[in-house]
Amino acid sequence: MAYADTVYVNGTLYTGDAQRRYAEALAVKDGKILAVGRTADILALAGPATRQVDLSGTLMVPGFTDGHVHPLEGQLLLGDFDLSALDTAEAIVERIRACAAATPHEEWVYLGGANLSVFGAYPSRQLLDQVVSDRPLLVIGHDVHSGCLNSRALEVLGLSAATVDPVGGIYERDAQGVPTGVIHEAALYRTCPRIPQLSPDRYPAALDKANAMAHGFGVTGWFDARVDLPMLEAYDAARRAGRLKVYTSAGLLANPRHDPREQVKRFLEWRREFEHDNLRLHTVKIFIDGVPESRTAALLDPYEGSDDCGLLLWDKETLFEIARLADEAGFDLHFHTLADRAVRLTLDALEHVQRQNGRRDRRAQLAHLQLVDPADMGRFHQLGAIASMQALWTAASPELQQFYRGLFGAERTGRNYPFRSLRNAGAMLAGGSDWCVSTMNPLPIMQTGVTHTEIGVPGRQPWNPVERLDFQTMLEAHTVNSAYALRFDTCAGSLEAGKDASFAILDRNPFRFPVDEIHKAQVVQTCFRGEVVYAREGWG
């Protein structure tokens, strides 16, 4: 008899199988799940050398799959002086000063993760010059769609009133046309390669940190939502060295300014060179619009009090062409779509692809989905499009809700993040974090999707409560659905015999506690292919 290497017994196991059944125990052998079932049956598979783990009623789930995240890039973008926990302008300014003082030999002063909206208007070069004037300074917003430069940085980059905005980007300007230092979208992205702290030679350490962070949250798979060649080389080196211990799907970033045919040809070359085992290159990532905070999210109707409908980063013809070519080459498509105009254009592109290339197993995803026109809800199911949701954003402070009302008006704000409506219209929901924009920990994300209230702020009314989801739906979204969306469903995403033994164990069963305590559950052990890659000290 082939005895198990390890058995886990006396627990509650969310299997995520087709029937969404629950079990009590699980056996592991050679990195695979040998059997799932009742404790007595699993114990029968234990031999003299089998390790036995008593779960004592806690919850085991398939390893979480983060359907939209920036694990490698995020580690660099946050940097050593992460601003993401600071919620006042004064605190951010002090951290900038501290960073400058602590890094006198760096060419640039760099910080990421800033909530730029706490300044009111995003900080201009004049404000930043009062903090750092002798070296170029870049501060990137937490959404990674906007940044702020001081005067020295503008000088080093050669930006002036004569500088033309890049396609798909904006240099904000004063009344005389001089750049204020606030930059958006492509204007930011063309600046990033000039920053030494963001250089590729720091990728290996960043990827190791990302692996460790993911394992601590029970995450065993992810979609890296923006990948270029140097990142692929870092991923490939980690995989060959045995250090890449997550299922990785790489989003090959398409550029609206480059020839679609040449881009797809290059993506095919990368796939032939780098795809192997748990590193998959089967998805092309396409940014359709920006974000509402900088008025670059693309709307069907203008922002309140203006004739501005935001920014589409692709023209229809070029988008349709690259979508068709990428699909024809066997790639899935993953779109950044914040607002309703971007969503509609993307669904139109998927419809075009289906007409041109015929039907096949497609797993296209539309990510973020802050605004979806009600007329487009049913098209997700019709086209097989998956809704990639970042549910932490379904809660917002009264101040942020008021900010959105100022952008969208009351009616549109009242239907932000319509995930329940999408689910009810037949769309599959896949969960993601969009870290480093927000936490990578799926438990507070899932709680927020259930409650629509901010964690740690009791007494708040839920935002758009009609769109709330139940915990079972959120758990499916972050395990079996997201694994399916990334085509890891043959080896991961559910606890079934024959699949990889990739799972997370929580210190409590959230189903037995009030929904506003889901976030209190903590991962005590994470396994990837049978290997314990994270264990809380003293557990097991």
CATH of the domain at 383: 3.20.20.140
Same domain, 78 and 177: yes
- Give the CA count within 13 Å in the CB-facing half-sphere of 447: 19
Which pLDDT score is estimated for 194? Answer: 92
Euclidean distance between CA atoms 445 and 426, whole angstroms: 22
Q: What is the mean pLDDT of residues 239-246?
A: 97
Q: Select the highest-mean-pLDDT range: 110-114, 163-167, 429-433.
A: 429-433
Specify whether 85 is located in the same domain as 100: yes
Per-residue confidence (pLDDT) for residue 6, from 0 to 100: 98
Using alpha carbons, select from 270, 279, 114 the residue that is nearest to residue 207: 279
pLDDT tens digits along 371-422: 999 999 999 999 999 999 999 999 999 999 999 999 999 999 999 999 999 9
The model's confidence at residue 256, banded by pLDDT at 50, 70 and 90, is: very high
Same domain, 503 and 417: no
Average pLDDT for the chain: 96
- Give mean pLDDT, residues 5-23: 95
Q: Is the pLDDT confidence value at 1 over 70?
A: no
Same domain, 166 and 226: no
Give the pLDDT of residue 92. 96
**Could you tell me the CATH number of the domain that includes residue 22?**
2.30.40.10
Query: What's the pLDDT score for residue 421?
Result: 98
**35 and 141 belong to one structural domain:** no
Q: With respect to residue 438, please indicate whether it lies within any of the assigned structural domains.
A: yes
377 falls within a domain: yes
Res 461: pLDDT: 95
Between these two residues, 20 and 148, which has the higher pLDDT value? 148
* pLDDT at 80 (0 to 100): 87
Pairing of strands 25-29, 59-62: unpaired
Contact by Cβ (8 Å): 65, 478: yes
Q: pLDDT per residue over 305-357, tens digit each?
A: 999 999 999 999 999 999 999 999 999 999 999 999 999 999 999 999 999 99
Phi-psi region of 120 (alpha: psi -120 to 50; beta: other; left: phi over 0): left
Instruction: Convert the pLDDT of each residue in 178-196 to its tens digit.
Output: 999 999 999 999 999 999 9
* Domain that includes residue 389, residue range: 203-485
Per DSSP, the residues of 10-47 read SSEEE---TT--EESEEEEETTEEEEEE-HHHHHTTEE
Torsion over CA: 376, 380, 383, 385 (sign): positive
Residue 364 backbone class (left: φ over 0; alpha: ψ -120 to 50; beta: rest): beta
Average pLDDT over residues 509-525: 96
Q: What does the block give as tokens for 254?
A: 């398409």
Question: Within this chain, do residues 9 and 146 fall inside the same structural domain, yes or no?
Answer: no
Q: Are residues 386 and 352 in the same domain?
A: yes
Q: Which pLDDT does position 84 carry in this prediction?
A: 86
The model's pTM: 0.90
The domain spanning residue 139 has which CATH number? 3.10.310.70
pLDDT in tens, 46-63: 999 999 999 999 999 999
pLDDT category, 158, cuts 50, 70, 90? very high
Number of domains comprising the chain? 3
Q: Are residues 208 and 306 in the same domain?
A: yes
Mean per-residue pLDDT, 447-474: 96
Do 32 and 77 share a structural domain?
no
Kindly state whether residues 328 and 284 are assigned to the same domain: yes
pLDDT for residue 111 is more than 70: yes
159, 180, 197: which is the final residue of a domain? Answer: 197
Domain shared by 61 and 164, yes or no: no
227 and 167, same structural domain?
no
